[in-house]
Structure 1
Amino acid sequence: MKKNKILEEILKEVDKHPEIMSRREALKYLTMSPLAASVIASASVGTSTAAASSDVKGKIVIIGGGLAGMSTAARLNNTISNADITVIEPDPMSVSYQPGQTLVAGGIWKLDDIQYKRDDFVPSGVKLIKGSVTSVDPDNNKVIVDGKEEVTYDQLIVAAGANLNYKAIKGIEGEITSAGADNAATKQTVTKNGLHSLYFQDGAKATWEGIQELITKAKAHTGAEKLQAIFTHPNTPLKCGGAPMKIIYLTHARLVEAGVRDKVELTFNTDGGVLFGIPEYNDAVVKQFEARGFKWNFKHNLTEVDAANKVATFDKWKMEKQESEDEMGEKVITEVKVAEPVQFKYDFMHIAPPMKAPDAVGTSKLGSAAGGWITVNKETLQSSFYPNVWAVGDNAGVPMGKTGGSARKQYKIVVDNMISVMGGKEPTAKYDGYTVCPLITGIGTVMMAEFNWTKKPTPSFPLDPTKERWIMWLLKVYLLKPMTMYGMLSGRA
């Protein structure tokens, strides 16, 4: 991918939104900004950096053809001579740009701005099976597709993503993917009557419609009590963990824009005990919440929704010390989690659903007990139980890393380590837990939160990463999608 092609794709994005920036202004920015230059360069590398590997042989199967799986296939294809690679993926829109769903939900982009077809991004020479893996047998090096077709492998990469487990919340049905093509059960409640979720494509579009409905309702509202907008964060690992906060910021911005912010109370209910897990970013977010007049409640996990009456029930929990006797009759003190149900009425509510690995991989011998995430060495991303199995992307059982930026680091590690193992060597490449959250704090501002397992900011650019910046907005809106779709998916960024 030549640099001029990346620039061409960036300028196409600019042309879609001339109200934000003209092509001339964008060219000036792209020419003068070291930040932009570094991003374009990272997406324009001409050759793979993986170890020399033309002599390795073996049948490679990849479960999942989303951003992580298809990028891994492309990088392997770039690196191995006469590679034998098969990707198994049922969704024709599997490579759609998931990070853009927040921008759709905030009315910045349209749905077709983020929709890309799987078949347009299958690397040349890579085989594609258009089906679903229904079981995995790592003891015999095979997977079953659609309950009938047996596919064997020498090396297996699991890139099956994370499922949105809406049915874990009483009153909502369905377990779907982020594209959410089969979402009829979930849409019986979510996407209507003030109940929304941007985590699947139709849900993102409906969330923007819901925000507009809230604005209309606020304009007509004359009561003394404010309308209530609730935003949730679940008790499971979460892909794009910043999205529940991004949408409260964007809702706030749209209410301010419409002149009705004073008529709506915005409340963020999170199962966690902090707003952001990295102390420096948490301090910044608390100040941002305070400045915008948000309310928030810690240790509140959504358990039930009464969609007809617009009432949400949360487990408000805490840890308590309790005394008991062990089997020898000795008194012991243990901490136990205790919860009480609390209810919130809402006019608008955004749900970030509980998440889990797809059952086909999560309940196999590769999965973990909690959530089914694939059990791997967190640095090499090699299975803890099967040396010829690897995980990349949202389904990988690592302490952090369910973002597109994490997958962009992980897939290179997996490729390098798998090639080493195929060549009879030890895996030596190490993933450091890099995660990036371009935290949209308003229309025109982003705090670029980058960090790793040190739980300290690890900024890529010489700027204070805790500050909200227009330049980071430009990066988020114009550069990251072309870098992903034409850099990462080519196996080079």
Structure 2
Amino acid sequence: MSNNNELKEALSLVDKELKNKGLSRRDALKVAGLGSATFLMGNTEVEAATVAKASDVKAKILIIGGGLAGISTAARLSNSLSNPDITVIEPNPKSVSYQPGNTLIAAGVYTKDDIMYDTKDFVPSGVKVIKDKAIEFDPENNKVKTQNGETFDYDYLIVAAGLKLDFGKIQGLEDIGELTSLGDASKLTSKLKNSGVCSIYSTDGAVDTWTQMQKLIQDAKAGKNVEAIFTHPNTPIKCGGAPKKIMYLTNSRLEEVGARKNANLTFYPNGGSMFGVKEYHEAILEQFKARDFNWHYNHNLIGVDLEKKIATFDNFWDEKGEYDPDLEEYDIVTKHKNVEVPYDFLHITPPMKAPDEIGNSPIGSGKGWVPVNKETLQHVKYDNIFSLGDIAAVPMGKTGGSVRKQYKVLVDNIISSMEGKALTAKYDGYTVCPLITDIGKVMLAEFDWSKKPTPSFPLDPTVERYVWWLLKVYMLKPMTQYGMLSGRA
């Protein structure tokens, strides 16, 4: 199916859903206050390319990573340069799947086939893709070495390699080690099979999550009292809302069969709030209370006993210590204790990190991520290196919605640099999280570095809405496929 046909089919599905509610698409959007939402009115270019005339400057551009961030950037560069010389290094031929769909796979709404793409189908004309992995970086000499022993030089380097899922950091899961969302997940699925433990952060893991969720639902429906727990680790993660989304969806599936009364659902976040934006935090708390969820802040998952079905958390808190007469204040001491929690169903959001070959290289940082100016996305040390997406050290920027803003800024700034101009394009920290709160409901959380809601539409952004469910389930995938991967949206 062509990209354009998939978008048309998605719009057709939206129309069908709305018809079942007795509404036309136009009337539904009018009711919702979305009359200007052209992306649901059939406009296939959400934000048309802003480049009126392609630049004639030339440079050898090397992109590390051929996922959504890498391919979208390659496409926009290809659209924006008269004589592009672009090479992408990416080991996985399935690197551009629609990863936000993992949550829907885990709830039985999508199947794996619904989100998988072939990278080759989205590579812009003239862009070369090398099926290999970058393992050594020599930024002083503008060179990158790959696993197969080849060396590539560049004028500009773009790092869009994504991150690693560090399951091996959890005691009891050491032999799973580090994974990528789309890589070989056999160690994960074989280790966790029929254990009640799962994770949506691997696509194959999301498939297994739906299998294990159905077992939980069957047990609850049969009258067994079940414990379902959901974790959020002490590292930055991609899609910070996903650990809550899978909890909401588990609740929804239990409600569907009348088994919710037999299930106890508890969220264990490492942090001290539900969301970094006050308004969304407060809205989520009210949703949790309405759904009779439990939660315990400041709990980081450190161990899992698969045989005994016990999860161990590091629970931590601050206490007043000794008085410092010089500073005239008390020391603050962080206390810790291990908390063991039995479970029937455990969803793990694993710790996440940059790949060691990048994080520990000269272009990495003490915390592993690629350090860039958060507005220009230019490396803080090397002017001809840029980074975006999950691997970039950008606050609150590990979502596809962030990348949709970042890659345009990055391309504009690289071209400015090639032309000897100042870098004037700025990323403002915009992030969007379609927070699924039920089958048929989504709260569209949009925000930026101000940590304030920044809604694109004249609606209360803290309200769960059916129209956002339609956007999430039917529209975002073809918008990503047809828009971002073409470099035009």
* TM-score, with length taken from structure 1: 0.92
Q: Is 1:350 the equivalent of 2:340? A: no
- 1:295 is matched with 294
Q: Is 1:266 the equivalent of 2:265? A: yes
Deviation at 1:194, TM superposition (A): 0.3
- 1:174 is matched with 177
Deviation at 1:192, TM superposition (A): 3.1
Distance 2:36 2:332 in 1: 48
Which of the numbers 196, 199, 218 marks the counterpart of 1:197?
Answer: 199
Distance 1:305 1:424 in 2: 54
Paired amino acid for 2:178: E
Change (3 A) 1:25 1:36: farther
Distance 1:485 1:132 in 2: 24
Deviation sequence 1:248-283 (CA, Å, 0-9, x none): 000000000011100010000000000111000011
- 1:359 is matched with 356
Change (3 A) 1:112 1:27: farther
CA contact (8 A) 2:18 2:25 kept: no
Paired amino acid for 1:110: T
**1:221-370 counterparts in 2 under 5 A?**
221-222=223-224, 226-323=225-322, 334-370=331-367
SS in 2 for 1:457: coil
Deviation at 1:174, TM superposition (A): 1.8
Deviation at 1:344, TM superposition (A): 0.4
SS in 2 for 1:397: coil
SS in 2 for 1:21: helix
- 1:206 is matched with 208
Change (3 A) 1:466 1:70: same
Paired amino acid for 1:55: D
Q: Which runs of 5+ in 2 are unaligned?
A: 30-34
Q: Is 1:381 the equivalent of 2:377? A: yes
Deviation sequence 1:10-64 (CA, Å, 0-9, x none): 343477899x827898993168633652456774169621475522111000000
**1:152-191 counterparts in 2 under 5 A?**
152-172=153-173, 173-179=176-182, 181-191=183-193
Deviation at 1:400, TM superposition (A): 0.9
Deviation at 1:137, TM superposition (A): 1.3
SS in 2 for 1:302: strand
Q: Is 1:477 the equivalent of 2:477? A: no
Change (3 A) 1:302 1:203: same
Paired amino acid for 1:268: F
Distance 2:79 2:54 in 1: 10
CA contact (8 A) 1:214 1:347 kept: yes
The worse-fitting range, judged by mean Cα deviation, of 8-17 and 445-454 is 8-17
Paired amino acid for 1:342: V
Deviation at 1:322, TM superposition (A): 3.5
CA contact (8 A) 1:233 1:270 kept: yes
The worse-fitting range, judged by mean Cα deviation, of 312-321 and 376-385 is 312-321
Paired amino acid for 1:60: I
Distance 1:90 1:26 in 2: 48
- 1:124 is matched with 125
* RMSD value, Cα: 2.5
The worse-fitting range, judged by mean Cα deviation, of 154-163 and 313-322 is 313-322
CA contact (8 A) 1:190 1:197 kept: no
Aligned length: 481
Change (3 A) 1:31 1:6: farther
Change (3 A) 1:46 1:187: closer
Paired amino acid for 1:433: G
SS in 1 for 2:251: helix
- 1:29 is matched with 25
Distance 2:448 2:327 in 1: 43
Paired amino acid for 2:167: Y
**1:89-168 counterparts in 2 under 5 A?**
89-168=90-169
Q: Is 1:459 the equivalent of 2:455? A: yes
Distance 1:331 1:465 in 2: 44
The worse-fitting range, judged by mean Cα deviation, of 28-37 and 107-116 is 28-37
Distance 2:360 2:102 in 1: 29
Distance 1:93 1:85 in 2: 20
- 2:32 is matched with none
Deviation at 1:348, TM superposition (A): 0.3
Deviation at 1:366, TM superposition (A): 1.6
SS in 2 for 1:374: coil
Deviation at 1:319, TM superposition (A): 2.1
CA contact (8 A) 2:57 2:83 kept: no
Distance 1:166 1:487 in 2: 33
Distance 2:184 2:364 in 1: 24
Change (3 A) 1:64 1:42: farther
Distance 1:288 1:442 in 2: 10
Paired amino acid for 2:74: A
CA contact (8 A) 1:135 1:147 kept: no
* TM-score, with length taken from structure 2: 0.93
Distance 1:217 1:480 in 2: 34
Deviation sequence 1:144-180 (CA, Å, 0-9, x none): 111511011000000001111111111112211111x
CA contact (8 A) 2:14 2:474 kept: no
SS in 2 for 1:418: helix
- 2:406 is matched with 410
How many percent identity over aligned positions? Answer: 54
CA contact (8 A) 1:446 1:469 kept: yes
Paired amino acid for 1:349: L
Deviation sequence 1:72-129 (CA, Å, 0-9, x none): 0000000001100000001111000001111111111111000011111111000000
The worse-fitting range, judged by mean Cα deviation, of 284-293 and 26-35 is 26-35
Q: Is 1:422 the equivalent of 2:418? A: yes
CA contact (8 A) 1:14 1:22 kept: no
SS in 1 for 2:231: strand
CA contact (8 A) 1:197 1:203 kept: yes
Paired amino acid for 1:84: D
Deviation at 1:197, TM superposition (A): 0.2
Paired amino acid for 1:467: V
Change (3 A) 1:324 1:65: farther
Deviation sequence 1:169-198 (CA, Å, 0-9, x none): 11112211111x322222343343100000
Deviation at 1:8, TM superposition (A): 3.3
Q: Is 1:392 the equivalent of 2:395? A: no
